[in-house]
Structure 1
Amino acid sequence: MIAESTYKTALSAVTALINTIPLLGGSQSRDDYEQALEIVEHLIDTDDENPLIDILATKIADYENSAPEYAAFNASLAAIPRELAMLRTLMDQNGLNQTDFAEEIGGRSLVNMILKGERSLTLEHMRKLGKRFSLPVSAFIED
């Protein structure tokens, strides 16, 4: 059983943390959101194992998913098929272009059609991409 003094100390610490970082308490203020972003950035640079990073990242994501200013962006993102979003992300994160997928997908024109949404990745494409980037095939498939 938790000692009363430990319980009170924990509640006091949480209250102090929420007063310091209002986004943790459910604030929907743009300023509080930006403050939380700065804190996460600082923690990643100075103490990347700090558990506060995960807690703040969740609150930041909640803000970004519900803030009216991100509604149009979130809607356009949700409209992109997962396989296409994954392919674009892999390209961006790895500095790749359409000619870099000859082994996994085929020629530049096929990759271009996939990126335009005119064609879809086949299961075989997904398997090859998964193998290349050490990802499960499910990373490319809609839930």
Structure 2
Amino acid sequence: MDIRPIRSEADYQATLQEISVLMDADPDLGTRDGDRLDILVTLVQAYEARHVPIAEPDPVEAIQFRMEQGGLSVKDLEPMIGKSNRVYEVLNRKRPLTLAMIRRLHQGLGIPADVLIAETLVGRSPTAIACLPILGQPPR
């Protein structure tokens, strides 16, 4: 099983390609290919942790993600942000979050305060939601 560390972008891309081929084959755990896939994924994770930083999510994206995740409506955010028109202003990036809103959103939705205090980025790509796993699970 000739496996080497990932030391360059070329190594990284080649490893991703091999992982893709192995994933398509869907090998069983404990088989030669299953073990190879497991090791390659671990190597990619280690490489990405060092070389591919994950940006913090935009505060509005974090709120929208929590809304989607919890099946929440604008009405559900009113205790944390204010009347519905204020919630819409925040969600449309027309009004910044206040300190009081940040505290209530942090407590009510479990969004880390450091995510909520970040500057809202206008025109940010919706694919940035892929960064949101850092938010963890919502409070119960």
TM-score by length of 2: 0.51
Match of 1:91 among 63, 67, 80: 67
| Equivalent position SS for 1:142 | coil
Is 1:25 matched with 2:11?
yes
Q: Which has the larger radius of gyration?
A: 1
Q: 1:56 to 1:84 in 2, by over 3 A?
A: same
CA RMSD of aligned residues (A): 4.5
1:92, distance to aligned residue in structure 2 (A): 1.7
The alignment covers a number of residue pairs equal to 104
The correspondence of residues 11-90 of structure 1 with structure 2, limited to 5 A, is: 14-15=3-4, 25-27=11-13, 32=17, 35=20, 38=23, 55-57=43-45, 82-90=58-66
Runs of 4+ in 1 over 6 A off after TM superposition: 58-62
Residues 19 and 40 in structure 2, CA contact (< 8 A), matched pair in contact too: no
Deviation at 1:126, TM superposition (A): 0.8
Name which structure has the greater RCO, CA cutoff 8 Å, separation 6+.
2
C-alpha distance 55-93 of structure 1, shift in aligned 2 (>3 A): farther
SS in 2 for 1:102: helix
TM superposition shift of 1:56: 4.0
**How far apart are the structure 1 equivalents of 2:94 and 2:104?**
20
CA distance in 1, matches of 2:21, 2:84: 42
Deviation of the 1:25 alpha carbon:
2.8
User: Which amino acid in 1 is paired with 2:109?
Assistant: F
Identify the structure with the greater helix proportion: 1
